[in-house]
Amino acid sequence: MTGSISTSWLLPSPTNSKSFSTSKSISFPLTTNPRRSPDRFPSRSPSPSLQIRAGIRELRERIDTVKNTQKITEAMKLVAAARVRRAQEAVINCRPFTETLVGILHSINQCAQLEDIDFPLSNVRPVKRVALVVVTGDKGLCGGFNNAVIKKANVRVDELKQRGIECVVVSVGKKGNAYFSRRDDVEVDKCIEGGGVYPTAKEAQVIADDVFSLFVSEEVDKVELVYTKFVSLVKSDPVIHTLLPLTMKGESCDVEGVCVDAMEDEMFRLTSKDGKLSVERRKVEVERPEISPLMQFEQDPVQILDAMMPLYLNSQILRALQESLASELASRMSAMSNATDNAVELKKSLTVAYNRERQAKITGELLEIVAGAEALRGT
């Protein structure tokens, strides 16, 4: 692809004086990103030639601006990479506990239902009103992370409305709070903002208390958790997880009955190699909890469920917060990496344009000097 630089200087002059104008046009090759070449997208027409209309001073200022932006994006990338490692380890360490706890709770709940024991949090009522706990991020500059989870929540809200089911939203995160507060067609029960750098059990407790009160008071018949599940550093999926009531199945399932728990979790771990960040692949096996159906409980199952339900709610919500944070940091690291690469390419293009403009100006001045010398020699 060929780009061109066209520069012109027009010096206004008073009446009865000669006007001086100079116009120059320079063409130069531009390096293109091979990942965005027209060969990969045959349906798209090649982009037109890049037109940069600026002088030497403007080009120099723009190069300095791009350099400063590159430093900022590089710093944000390194900060996100340092934080995502800790968030990733928290997600991986939390999953076995939460999955085992869910399996035990469902086994106890199954025994209680077989013995006709009434437990409020396991009563499956006709669904007339659903509470959606939507977990988003507190900051931007993370690609399409926030948009993906908000879009997932909107699709679920529209689906419930088409079935004639009312919906109430419990928003977690500043981005989700700002979005749902502007929508008049969605009822918002509560907006919660994260207070620390990493999710804590105290923050999960606040959300769990609100969800517990909504379900026990029968204001809602079902509670669903909408968050972004962390798969790897380059992939994250927004999922919907049924939080209440407890189902007979011993797995965490979405609204379509598909398990969202990672039975064989494939993770990517950040490492440092030759002074640079690199990614290596590891597989972490997660065993399914197996509970014997012949197990007998010394205490009443209702007492056991009453003691374990707060732990269940806190662990599930804390896991969702941790998965969402890890996905947000991984998305921010990827976005800042792409921004840094784009800044490097833009700086190269501007540097080429600056050098050619400077060379053209020098050449023009030399030609004027030679022309003036020849004119003097001719006289």
Lowest mean pLDDT among 100-114, 159-173, 184-198, 221-235: 100-114
Q: What is the pLDDT of residue 168?
A: 92
Please give the share of the chain, as a percent, with pLDDT higher than 90: 27
What pLDDT, in 10s, does the model give residues 86-144? Answer: 888 888 888 888 888 877 777 777 776 666 666 777 777 788 888 999 999 998 889 89
Give CA angle at 231 (228, 237), nearest 5°: 35
What pLDDT, in 10s, does the model give residues 12-48? Answer: 434 443 333 333 444 444 444 444 444 444 444 444 4
Q: What is the pLDDT of residue 22?
A: 39
What pLDDT, in 10s, does the model give residues 321-369? Answer: 999 999 999 999 999 999 999 999 999 999 998 998 889 889 988 999 9
DSSP 289: P
Q: What is the pLDDT of residue 113?
A: 67
Of 141, 139, 136, the residue nearest 72 (C-alpha): 141
Of 217, 119, 115, the residue nearest 168 (C-alpha): 217
Categorize the per-residue pLDDT at 255 as very low, low, confident or very high, splitting at 50, 70 and 90.
Answer: low
Structural contact between residues 157 and 187, judged by C-beta atoms closer than 8 angstroms? no
Structural contact between residues 114 and 107, judged by C-beta atoms closer than 8 angstroms? no
CA–CA dist 286, 358 (Å, integer): 63
Mean pLDDT of the chain: 76
3 state SS of 186 = coil
SS3 content of the chain, % helix, strand, coil (to 5): 50, 20, 30
Query: Which tokens go with 256?
Result: 């379509």
CA–CA dist 96, 104 (Å, integer): 12
* DSSP codes, 292-316: -TT---SS-HHHHHHHHHHHHHHHH
Q: Does the annotation mark 142 as catalytic?
A: yes
Going along the chain from its start, the domains and CATH numbers come out as 72-274+301-333 (3.40.1380.10)
CB atoms within 10 A of CB 247: 16
**From 94, 111, 142, 259, active-site residue:** 142
- 3-state SS string for 339-362: HHHHHHHHHHHHHHHHHHHHHHHH
pTM, rounded to two decimals? 0.71
CA distances, 337 to each of 5, 70, 81, 142, 276 (Å):
29, 10, 10, 11, 13
